Amino acid sequence: MVDFSLTKQQQELVEKYKDFAERVIIPVRAKYDESSEFPWEVIKKAYDEGLMNSQIPKKLGGEGLNIFDSQLGSEELGAACAGICISIDANMLALTPWIIAADDEQLKRFMGRLNEEKGTAAYALTEPNAGSDVAGIKTTAIKKGDKYIINGHKRFITNGEGAMYHTVFALTDPERGARSLTCFVVPTDLPGVEILPRLDKMGQRGSVQNEIKYNDVEIPVENLIGREGEGFLIGMKTFDRTRTGVAALSIGIARSAYEISRDWAKNRIQFGKPVTANQAVSFMLAEMATKIELARLITWKAAWYFEQGLKTPGTYSAMAKYYASDVAMEVTTDAVQVMGGDGYTRSFGVEKMMRDAKLCQIYEGTNQVQKLVISKGILR
Ligand SMILES: Cc1cc2nc3c(=O)[nH]c(=O)nc-3n(C[C@H](O)[C@H](O)[C@H](O)COP(=O)(O)OP(=O)(O)OC[C@H]3O[C@@H](n4cnc5c(N)ncnc54)[C@H](O)[C@@H]3O)c2cc1C
């Protein structure tokens, strides 16, 4: 029998995230949307209350959640503020290669310092000439004795500034290209790590992105994650796991926009009756509600596939990410429409959700790239 109900523990987990979102995130989300500063006060509280690094085992200071339970949390945080949610979730993005390929000594070393200082980490894959085409990466990590010397230029790196560690993807042998792509942990206090000013952007302004230059940065060989040449696989396996989180965050955005516009429309009287008495409006709400349910179904299924240890979960997380982020864009756009002029103002928050939703269709691989992943999976 298929069962869509959550266990008692899962319900408590959802309540814990919902409570955190209401108490800590919602009161400050407009401030960060305005300032585009990094939300340190929220991150520190998230550490204090056990919401950071959700999939890191408890003995290493994380929450020890599986992918399914972790995405339940992302929906609640996304419903409150997508930008602040991604500041928290981008940390997990940076740590996912560690879960996949780091050894116990590395995990203890890196997580120890991160927990002690309630620090952040960033995932540094994208470059000016390597966005969708990850194989175009040019950053190099050349081995010299017991060190790797890193040189290169990364772009759009979430949590880049202020991060204690960057998880960096670089070529150990430029002649072999992406076949030599390798994953490293770079402590950002080393000489040669240059963080450029943060980018100004449309939405998710409760998160920060930077360009980063690595100029002859020397890291010990002990900071190599996995083996030389495994970087491409580690990078792609990371996205397979984290895209369900982006899908859940997208559902959170859509859910909030839908609920705000539904409640507003029930009370808005025009032509002597609530605007919901017009099928043009009530059908729009019906479609929004249906799309959210469908997006959650594929997201839960994708996350469930991971827990079953099946072979092609990445195909499903790509489906979830593309479908749910498209739903977030459609639902937030319709929410603004349902609310007319009020929707377009900053008073109700749905215009922010519409701006925030757009990014979910772009990062962690654009939705066109998700379709490449899905088509490869289904035609294999
Ligand atoms: C706010 C933000 C946060 C980000 N955070 C991070 C981060 O933390 N770490 C990180 O490493 N990266 C991060 N990124 C980078 C992000 O993953 C890339 O922006 C994304 O993968 C797309 O790459 P691009 O912007 O270079 O677009 P391009 O690759 O230049 O694509 C341009 C357009 O062409 C389309 N396209 C490209 N190739 C194909 C193809 N083969 N078939 C069909 N269509 C195609 C794309 O879908 C897109 O519409 C972030 C980006 C943003 C904007």
> Helices 82-101 and 104-116, interaxial angle, to 10°?
150
Which atom of ligand 1 has the smallest separation from the CA of 207? 1
How far is ligand 1, taken at its centre, from the CA of residue 283, in Å? 34
Nearest protein Cα to ligand 1, atom 27: 131
Whether residues 240 and 360 share a domain: the answer is: yes
Read off the amino acid at residue 367: N
**pLDDT tens sequence for the chain (380 residues):** 788 999 999 999 999 999 999 999 999 999 999 999 999 999 999 999 999 999 999 999 999 999 999 999 999 999 999 999 999 999 999 999 999 999 999 999 999 999 999 999 999 999 999 999 999 999 999 999 999 999 999 999 999 999 999 999 999 999 999 999 999 999 999 999 999 999 999 999 999 999 999 999 999 999 999 999 999 999 999 999 999 999 999 999 999 999 999 999 999 999 999 999 999 999 999 999 999 999 999 999 999 999 888 877 899 999 999 999 999 999 999 999 999 999 999 999 999 999 999 999 999 999 999 999 999 999 98
pLDDT on residue 310: 80
Which atom of ligand 1 has the smallest separation from the CA of 364? 17
Residue 87: inside a domain: yes
pLDDT on residue 62: 93
How far is ligand 1, taken at its centre, from the CA of residue 338, in Å? 31
CATH number at residue 152: 2.40.110.10
pLDDT on residue 267: 98
Which of 229, 249, 280 finishes a domain? Answer: 229
How far is ligand 1, taken at its centre, from the CA of residue 133, in Å? 8
CATH number at residue 367: 1.20.140.10
pLDDT on residue 309: 84
pLDDT on residue 27: 98
Whether residues 246 and 360 share a domain: the answer is: yes
CATH number at residue 18: 1.10.540.10
Give catalytic status of residue 364 as yes or no: yes
Whether residues 189 and 220 share a domain: the answer is: yes
Determine which one of 63, 75, 230, 364 is catalytic: 364
pLDDT, tens only, 276-294 = 999 999 999 999 999 999 9
Which atom of ligand 1 has the smallest separation from the CA of 159? 8
How far is ligand 1, taken at its centre, from the CA of residue 366, in Å? 6
| Domain extent at residue 83 | 8-116
pLDDT, tens only, 178-220 = 999 999 999 999 999 999 999 999 999 999 999 999 999 999 9
Whether residues 151 and 176 share a domain: the answer is: yes
C-beta neighbour count of 48 within 10 angstroms: 11
| Ligand 1: lining residues by beta carbon, under 6 Å | 90, 123-126, 131-132, 156-158, 201, 209, 359, 362-366, 368-369, 372
Cβ neighbourhood burial of 310 (10 Å; 0-12, 13-18, 19+): exposed
Closest to 196 (Cα-Cα) out of 182, 181, 215: 215
pLDDT on residue 282: 98
Which atom of ligand 1 has the smallest separation from the CA of 362? 20
